[in-house]
Amino acid sequence: MAWKTPLRTLLTALALFGLGADVALAPAPAEAHLAKWGSWEVTHRNLMRLFPDADPNAWRIKRYQFSAKEIEQLEKKLGFELYPEDKTPEFYVAHDTDGQFLGVAIFIDPRTKPKILDGSVLTLEIGIGVDARGTINRVAVYDYRGDVRLTKDAFLDQLEGRGLDSEFRMGKDGLVPVAGEDEESQLVANAGYEALLLMKVALGR
Protein backbone atom coordinates (compact mmCIF):
# COMPACT_ATOMS: atom_id res chain seq x y z
CA MET A 1 0.00 0.00 0.00
CA ALA A 2 1.45 3.36 -1.06
CA TRP A 3 0.52 6.40 0.97
CA LYS A 4 1.99 9.26 -1.07
CA THR A 5 1.87 10.52 -4.64
CA PRO A 6 4.04 13.22 -6.23
CA LEU A 7 2.32 16.59 -5.99
CA ARG A 8 2.95 17.44 -9.64
CA THR A 9 1.41 14.18 -10.83
CA LEU A 10 -1.64 14.69 -8.65
CA LEU A 11 -2.18 18.27 -9.70
CA THR A 12 -1.83 17.34 -13.37
CA ALA A 13 -4.61 14.81 -12.94
CA LEU A 14 -6.71 17.23 -10.96
CA ALA A 15 -6.46 19.80 -13.72
CA LEU A 16 -9.14 17.72 -15.38
CA PHE A 17 -11.48 18.63 -12.53
CA GLY A 18 -12.38 22.06 -13.83
CA LEU A 19 -12.48 23.23 -10.22
CA GLY A 20 -11.92 26.83 -11.20
CA ALA A 21 -15.59 27.25 -12.11
CA ASP A 22 -17.77 29.81 -10.38
CA VAL A 23 -19.04 28.62 -7.03
CA ALA A 24 -22.77 28.55 -6.37
CA LEU A 25 -24.29 29.78 -3.15
CA ALA A 26 -23.43 27.49 -0.25
CA PRO A 27 -26.14 25.45 1.42
CA ALA A 28 -27.44 26.50 4.81
CA PRO A 29 -24.49 26.68 7.25
CA ALA A 30 -24.12 23.62 9.44
CA GLU A 31 -20.98 22.87 11.41
CA ALA A 32 -19.09 19.80 10.26
CA HIS A 33 -15.75 18.08 10.59
CA LEU A 34 -13.81 15.43 8.73
CA ALA A 35 -14.45 11.79 9.58
CA LYS A 36 -11.74 9.18 10.12
CA TRP A 37 -11.65 5.52 10.96
CA GLY A 38 -9.13 3.85 13.22
CA SER A 39 -7.79 1.34 10.73
CA TRP A 40 -6.77 1.24 7.08
CA GLU A 41 -8.92 -1.88 6.63
CA VAL A 42 -12.12 0.04 7.44
CA THR A 43 -10.99 3.13 5.54
CA HIS A 44 -10.13 1.03 2.48
CA ARG A 45 -13.47 -0.77 2.55
CA ASN A 46 -15.31 2.54 2.68
CA LEU A 47 -13.18 3.99 -0.13
CA MET A 48 -13.99 1.06 -2.41
CA ARG A 49 -17.68 1.84 -2.01
CA LEU A 50 -16.99 5.26 -3.54
CA PHE A 51 -14.82 4.02 -6.42
CA PRO A 52 -15.63 0.32 -7.00
CA ASP A 53 -13.47 0.29 -10.15
CA ALA A 54 -10.36 1.51 -8.33
CA ASP A 55 -7.28 -0.67 -8.10
CA PRO A 56 -7.51 -1.84 -4.47
CA ASN A 57 -3.74 -1.61 -4.10
CA ALA A 58 -3.23 1.74 -5.77
CA TRP A 59 -4.89 4.21 -3.41
CA ARG A 60 -2.77 7.26 -2.64
CA ILE A 61 -3.18 9.70 0.23
CA LYS A 62 -2.61 13.38 -0.36
CA ARG A 63 -2.25 15.41 2.83
CA TYR A 64 -2.66 19.15 2.75
CA GLN A 65 -2.31 22.03 5.21
CA PHE A 66 -4.53 25.03 4.60
CA SER A 67 -2.91 28.44 4.94
CA ALA A 68 -4.43 31.11 7.16
CA LYS A 69 -5.83 32.83 4.06
CA GLU A 70 -7.34 29.59 2.78
CA ILE A 71 -8.90 28.86 6.18
CA GLU A 72 -10.47 32.31 6.19
CA GLN A 73 -11.83 31.72 2.69
CA LEU A 74 -13.24 28.30 3.59
CA GLU A 75 -14.86 29.44 6.83
CA LYS A 76 -16.52 32.35 5.04
CA LYS A 77 -18.05 30.10 2.40
CA LEU A 78 -18.96 27.27 4.78
CA GLY A 79 -20.36 29.51 7.48
CA PHE A 80 -18.52 27.91 10.42
CA GLU A 81 -15.04 27.63 11.91
CA LEU A 82 -12.93 24.66 10.91
CA TYR A 83 -11.85 22.27 13.63
CA PRO A 84 -8.05 22.27 14.16
CA GLU A 85 -7.69 18.76 12.71
CA ASP A 86 -9.70 19.75 9.64
CA LYS A 87 -7.10 22.33 8.66
CA THR A 88 -4.83 19.46 7.59
CA PRO A 89 -7.18 17.19 5.60
CA GLU A 90 -6.41 13.89 3.92
CA PHE A 91 -7.63 13.25 0.39
CA TYR A 92 -7.69 9.73 -1.06
CA VAL A 93 -6.73 9.46 -4.72
CA ALA A 94 -8.12 6.60 -6.82
CA HIS A 95 -6.67 5.01 -9.98
CA ASP A 96 -7.91 2.02 -11.94
CA THR A 97 -5.84 -1.11 -12.67
CA ASP A 98 -4.40 0.59 -15.79
CA GLY A 99 -3.19 3.55 -13.75
CA GLN A 100 -5.91 5.87 -15.02
CA PHE A 101 -6.89 8.61 -12.60
CA LEU A 102 -10.49 8.11 -11.40
CA GLY A 103 -11.00 10.79 -8.79
CA VAL A 104 -10.57 11.85 -5.18
CA ALA A 105 -12.46 10.87 -2.04
CA ILE A 106 -12.88 12.42 1.38
CA PHE A 107 -14.91 11.55 4.49
CA ILE A 108 -17.03 14.11 6.34
CA ASP A 109 -19.13 14.03 9.50
CA PRO A 110 -21.51 16.94 8.91
CA ARG A 111 -22.92 17.04 12.42
CA THR A 112 -20.96 18.19 15.46
CA LYS A 113 -23.87 18.54 17.88
CA PRO A 114 -24.66 15.09 19.31
CA LYS A 115 -27.99 13.53 18.44
CA ILE A 116 -29.23 10.69 20.62
CA LEU A 117 -31.18 7.69 19.35
CA ASP A 118 -32.20 4.88 21.70
CA GLY A 119 -29.78 6.10 24.33
CA SER A 120 -26.66 6.34 22.16
CA VAL A 121 -25.11 8.95 19.88
CA LEU A 122 -26.36 8.81 16.31
CA THR A 123 -23.41 9.26 13.96
CA LEU A 124 -23.62 10.45 10.37
CA GLU A 125 -20.42 9.68 8.48
CA ILE A 126 -20.39 10.37 4.78
CA GLY A 127 -17.96 9.53 2.00
CA ILE A 128 -17.86 11.67 -1.14
CA GLY A 129 -16.06 10.65 -4.32
CA VAL A 130 -15.34 13.39 -6.87
CA ASP A 131 -14.50 12.39 -10.44
CA ALA A 132 -12.04 13.82 -12.96
CA ARG A 133 -14.62 16.37 -14.15
CA GLY A 134 -14.86 17.92 -10.69
CA THR A 135 -18.35 16.59 -10.04
CA ILE A 136 -19.65 14.21 -7.41
CA ASN A 137 -19.20 10.64 -8.58
CA ARG A 138 -20.76 8.85 -5.63
CA VAL A 139 -21.92 9.46 -2.07
CA ALA A 140 -22.08 6.83 0.67
CA VAL A 141 -23.45 6.99 4.21
CA TYR A 142 -21.76 4.53 6.57
CA ASP A 143 -23.20 2.56 9.48
CA TYR A 144 -26.14 4.92 9.95
CA ARG A 145 -28.69 3.73 12.53
CA GLY A 146 -31.38 6.26 11.69
CA ASP A 147 -33.82 6.17 8.77
CA VAL A 148 -32.33 3.65 6.34
CA ARG A 149 -33.69 5.60 3.37
CA LEU A 150 -30.95 8.16 3.99
CA THR A 151 -28.37 5.53 2.97
CA LYS A 152 -30.09 4.36 -0.22
CA ASP A 153 -29.25 5.24 -3.83
CA ALA A 154 -32.74 6.63 -4.41
CA PHE A 155 -31.75 9.55 -2.17
CA LEU A 156 -27.97 9.72 -2.59
CA ASP A 157 -27.98 9.56 -6.39
CA GLN A 158 -29.52 13.05 -6.45
CA LEU A 159 -26.09 14.47 -5.63
CA GLU A 160 -24.24 12.66 -8.41
CA GLY A 161 -22.97 14.90 -11.19
CA ARG A 162 -23.18 18.08 -9.12
CA GLY A 163 -20.25 20.47 -9.02
CA LEU A 164 -19.53 23.66 -7.14
CA ASP A 165 -21.76 25.60 -9.52
CA SER A 166 -24.72 23.38 -8.58
CA GLU A 167 -27.45 23.81 -5.99
CA PHE A 168 -27.09 21.95 -2.69
CA ARG A 169 -30.21 23.08 -0.85
CA MET A 170 -32.89 20.49 -0.29
CA GLY A 171 -36.08 21.44 -2.09
CA LYS A 172 -34.11 23.21 -4.85
CA ASP A 173 -33.04 22.02 -8.29
CA GLY A 174 -34.52 18.55 -7.96
CA LEU A 175 -33.12 17.76 -4.50
CA VAL A 176 -35.83 15.97 -2.54
CA PRO A 177 -35.22 15.19 1.16
CA VAL A 178 -36.12 11.90 2.76
CA ALA A 179 -39.63 12.39 4.14
CA GLY A 180 -39.44 13.28 7.82
CA GLU A 181 -35.63 13.62 7.67
CA ASP A 182 -35.25 17.15 6.32
CA GLU A 183 -32.35 18.04 8.64
CA GLU A 184 -30.40 14.85 8.00
CA SER A 185 -30.99 15.11 4.25
CA GLN A 186 -29.60 18.65 4.20
CA LEU A 187 -26.55 17.55 6.19
CA VAL A 188 -25.75 14.98 3.51
CA ALA A 189 -26.04 17.65 0.82
CA ASN A 190 -23.85 19.97 2.90
CA ALA A 191 -21.16 17.27 3.00
CA GLY A 192 -21.17 17.09 -0.79
CA TYR A 193 -20.71 20.83 -1.08
CA GLU A 194 -17.98 20.92 1.56
CA ALA A 195 -16.05 18.09 -0.11
CA LEU A 196 -16.03 19.94 -3.43
CA LEU A 197 -14.97 23.19 -1.77
CA LEU A 198 -12.12 21.61 0.20
CA MET A 199 -10.84 19.94 -2.95
CA LYS A 200 -11.02 23.17 -4.94
CA VAL A 201 -8.98 25.07 -2.39
CA ALA A 202 -6.46 22.31 -1.65
CA LEU A 203 -6.09 20.60 -5.01
CA GLY A 204 -7.63 22.79 -7.68
CA ARG A 205 -4.64 24.89 -8.60
Contact 38, 44 (CB under 8 A): no
Across 191-202, average pLDDT: 95
Report d(CA 117, CA 111) in Å as an integer: 14
In the predicted model, what is the mean pLDDT of the chain?
84
Q: Tell me: pLDDT of 108 over 80.
A: yes
Percent of the chain with pLDDT over 70: 80
- Which is more confident, 119 or 173? 173
Across 122-136, average pLDDT: 92
pTM of the model: 0.81
Distance of CA 115 to the CA centre of its chain: 21
- Which residues contact residue 137 at a Cβ distance below 8 angstroms, ignoring those fewer than 6 apart? 50, 51, 102, 103, 129, 130, 131, 160
Q: Tell me: pLDDT of 48 over 50.
A: yes
Across 85-96, average pLDDT: 94
Task: Kindly list the domain boundaries of the chain, sorted by start residue.
Answer: 7-203
| pLDDT recorded at residue 38 | 73
Report d(CA 126, CA 121) in Å as an integer: 16
Per DSSP, helices labelled H in the chain are 7-14, 40-50, 68-78, 153-156, 182-203
pLDDT digit string (tens) for 157-171? 999 999 999 999 999
Query: What band does 27 get if pLDDT is binned at 50, 70 and 90?
Result: low
Query: What band does 17 get if pLDDT is binned at 50, 70 and 90?
Result: very low
